[in-house]
A and B are shown apart, each in its own frame.
Chain A
C-alpha cells in the first residue's frame, strides 16, 4: 500500500497540538475571519490568524514555521475578545513563534524576534533589565555605523533623560544587578527543565 500524500491530513495539526502553547485550539477555528478583520496589523501580515490556522490544517509545515506573520502580533487581544469560538489567538501566535524559534525555522532577520532575543538576554543575565544597554544593543544591532547614526539622531532625548536623572551613563559599564542573581538563574533553569519535560519537541 503506497503512502498517502500528507497534505490536508492531520500530521502537522497534531504536531502543533503537542508542541505549541494553546495549539489544541487550532482545530476549533471555524474560519469566520473575524480575527483577521479585527487585527490592527491585518493588512501587513502575509497570513492573518485565520489563514495561519488553515495552513496548519492543510499541513503546510514549512510555510507556517518560516512565516514572519505570527511575529507581527502586538498582543492587542482584539481577536481574542472577538473570536466567536473563544480561541486564545494571541497566545497561539506567540506559541507558534516560540515553536518556530525553538526549531530554528523562524526568519533570521525579523525585528520582533531580534528585539525579543536581545531583551531576554539582557534581563536574564542580571535579573533586571538594563535599559541603556538594551537601547544601545538595539541601535548597534545593524552594525557599528548604523548604531552611531541612530544614537546621534536620538541624542536630544538621551541628554534630556540624563538631565532629569532618568538615565545614568555609568550603567553602561557596571549597572545594577538584582539581589539574588544566582537564585534567578536557578529559577530559569528549573523552568526550562519543566518545559522540556512537558513538551516532546520533534526531532
Chain B
C-alpha cells in the first residue's frame, strides 16, 4: 500500500436522515475528520450505494473507508471490502435507536452522531490493512495423544477427513478403558440393555488406516513450536526418541479411576468383595472367558446379591474426595446390575443412590433396569462392613427416613473419574513435582509444560461457547480429561476436537487467527527497540503465545495467538500493536471528540465495551429502543484485556467525566472469550485509584462492570445509573487543558 486515501460515507437510510442532519455529519467528516472523499447516500447498503464505494476504491484509489451507518455488526456482507481498510461509525443502533425522538434532545443526539463521525475519521487514519502473519506454518498433520475411545475417534475422524494422523499411546495396546469393559451403556435405540463397545472395530479401523501412524508404549518427551509447526519428540519404550512434526494436537489422555483405597469406610481395599466399577468389569470379563457366572472373589461362592453404591468418593462436600459428579456412573451401575439380572433374574441387585442422574437417553435405560427388577433405593451410604464373605451396606433410607442395611455378596463402588491432565502449571514448580509429577505434553512454552487447568485438574476451556478450546491454541482437549463424561459423550467430544484441530491447521497455514476471532489476519507487532523486558506480556498472555529469547525479549508465536490484545493492554510502554488495532487507533478516538466545557452541563462518558458480549448487548439495547444517556461515547474493544491504562489516563486528562469498562464475567465461571482478559482488566483497574487521586479526581470516575450478551435491558440501565452518578459528582475539572 503506497499512499493513504481516505473516504467517509454517510448513510441516510433506516431513518438516519429523518432524525439527524447528515449534511452536518458530512461537514464534520470533511472539516474536522479531514476525509479526502465525503459522500452521503440515501441507502448505502443497497447495490447502488455499495457500488459507489467500490467505484471510489477502483477509480479514486481510496484505501481507507469510514462508513457512518449501522453498527459494525450489521450489514457486514454488503460492506465487505477486503482490499481496503474499513471502520464503521455506529449511527443507527448507537444513536438514533438508543436515543428518544424529540426536539428537546435533538441537539445532544446530533452531537453524539457528530462525535462518532469524528472518532471514526480519527481511527481510520491510524489503521492499516492486515497482511496476515508472516510465518505461515503449513504442517497439517494431527497428533492425537491417547489411544482410548476419545483418541481413536479423534484419529479416525481426522484421517477420514483427509489429514495425516499420529497417535501416541502410553500402554502397549490401543483401546484404553473401553477395551477393559465387558459391555457399554447403549448409545443407540432401544436403550434397554448393555451394548457392545465397538472398540475392537475402532482399533481395527485405526490400525489399518493408511493415514494413521501409531506409536505404542510411547510418551511425549517434548512439544515445541506452534500450530502448523509443532515439533514433538516421542519417547519410545527403549528411551529413544523420534521427532514428529505436526500442525495441531488433540489431547485425549483420559482419566484414572478414583482410588478405591481412599474409601476404607466403604470397604475399599478391605475386602476383595468390594470392587469399583472397573473391578467389576474385570470380574465379568474373567467369568465370561471361563463361561461361568461371576463368583464371589473372596471364596468363589455364589453371588446372590449385589449392592451398587453410587457417588462413592464423589460429590463430596467434606473436601476429602472428589467434589464433582462424574456423570456416567449411574448409567454404568444400571448396566452392571443388568449383567447380573440378564444372566440370572434371581440375583438381587440394589442400586443405592442419593440422586440418580442418567444423562442422554439414560432415562429409558433406567426404566429398563427397573423393568428387569433392579431395585433402586434412595439412600445415603454410611458404611460398608466387610466381615466374612458377605458385606453389609449400612445406609440411611432417605424415603423411609430410617436406617437401613443390605447384605450383599458383592459391593460395587461407583468411584469417579480423575482427569489425566498433567501438571498444574499454576502452582509453584516444587509443588507440581509433589502433586503430580507426570507431564503429558512437556511443552517448551515459557508458561508451563501442560494445558492450564480450571478446577479439579480439568483443563480450562470456555465451557459454554468453545468447549474444546484450551488455553493453548492448536491443542484441543477431548474426552474425560476435559470434563467427566461417558463413552457416547467422549465420542462426540473427540469428533468436535478433531474438527477444531483441522480448523487450527488450516487457519495457521493461512496466517489467520483461530477462534474466536477466526479468520483475523492481524497479529501483534512488537517494536522491540522500545521494549523494557518487563515480561508482562509473556506472563499475562492467556494463551501462552509469547516465549522469551536468550536476551529475554518477547518472542511472539503468531499462530498460537488469539489476537485478543491482552499483551497490548499489558504493555506499559505501548510497543505492542496490531495493524488495525493499536494504542493509537483507540487513543486517537478518545482525543477526537468535541469536548464541551465545564459549564455546559454536558458530561462525556467513555464506554470501552467488549465486542464479544457488551457491544452486541448495546446494539440490542438500541434495537429494543432501550434509551440510554446521550452523553456516552462507546468504543468497541477486542477484549477488556486489551485496554491499555494509557487510554484511561488520556481520557481523564482530556476532560472526559467518566470511563466505563464493560466486559464479560470473570472468576471461576467466567464468560470472557479470552478467558483471562476481563479478569486482568479488572485487576489493572483496581490499581488505577492511585492515578485518579494523583490527578485529584474521584475514584468513581473509572468503573468496570460485567455485562453478558443477553443484558440488553440492563446495559442501558447501567449506563443511566452511571450517568446519574457522574451528574452527582459533577463535571471533571480537567476540561480544556489537553
Which A residues fall within an 8 A CB radius of B?
A: 1-2, 4-5, 7-10, 13, 27-28, 30-31, 50-51, 54-55, 57-58, 85
Contact = CB atoms under 8 A, between A and B. Distances in A.
Residue of B301, B302, B378 with highest tally of chain A CB at under 10 A: B378
B350 A8 contact: yes
Given A4-B409, A28-B370, A58-B400, 10 more contacts: A4-B304, A4-B305, A5-B407, A7-B404, A7-B406, A9-B305, A28-B367, A54-B377, A58-B377, A58-B397
A57 B399 CA distance: 11
Question: What 6 A-B pairs are tightest by C-beta distance, nearest first?
Answer: A54-B399, A8-B406, A9-B348, A4-B407, A5-B407, A28-B370
A57 B377 CA distance: 8
Contacts of A5: 405, 407
B297 to A, nearest CB: 15
B155 to A, nearest CB: 40
Contacts of B376: 30-31, 57
Contact of A27 (B305, B370, B397): B370
B366 A30 contact: yes
22 contacts: A4-B304, A7-B404, A7-B405, A7-B406, A7-B407, A8-B348, A8-B350, A8-B375, A8-B377, A9-B348, A9-B375, A10-B348, A27-B373, A28-B367, A31-B376, A31-B399, A50-B399, A51-B399, A51-B400, A54-B399, A54-B400, A58-B397
Contacts of A27: 370-371, 373, 375
B404 A8 contact: yes
Q: Which of B302, B304, B348, B390 has the most CB of A within 10 A?
A: B348
A149 B408 CA distance: 59
Interface string B346-366: 001010000010000000001
Contacts of A2: 390
A93 to B, nearest CB: 17
B351 to A, nearest CB: 11
Contacts of B305: 4, 9
A1 B301 contact: yes
Interface string B278-313: 000000000000000000000001101100000000
A197 B377 CA distance: 34
Given A1-B301, A1-B302, A31 B378 contact: yes
Nearest to A10: B348
Contact of B404 (A28, A51, A58): A58
Contacts of B404: 7-8, 58
A5 B307 CA distance: 13
Interface string B376-404: 11100000000000100000010110001
B390 A13 contact: no
Contacts of A9: 305, 348, 350, 375, 406
Contacts of B390: 2, 4
A28 B407 contact: no
Contact of B375 (A1, A4, A10, A55): A10
B507 to A, nearest CB: 47
B380 to A, nearest CB: 14
Contacts of A28: 367, 370-371
Contacts of A58: 377, 397, 400, 404
A113 to B, nearest CB: 24
Contacts of A85: 367
A30 B357 CA distance: 12
Nearest to B390: A4
B617 to A, nearest CB: 38
B119 to A, nearest CB: 58
Most A Cβ at <10 Å: residue of B399, B400, B406, B407 = B399
Nearest to B400: A54
A27 B390 CA distance: 25
Interface in B323-354: 348, 350
A8 B376 CA distance: 10
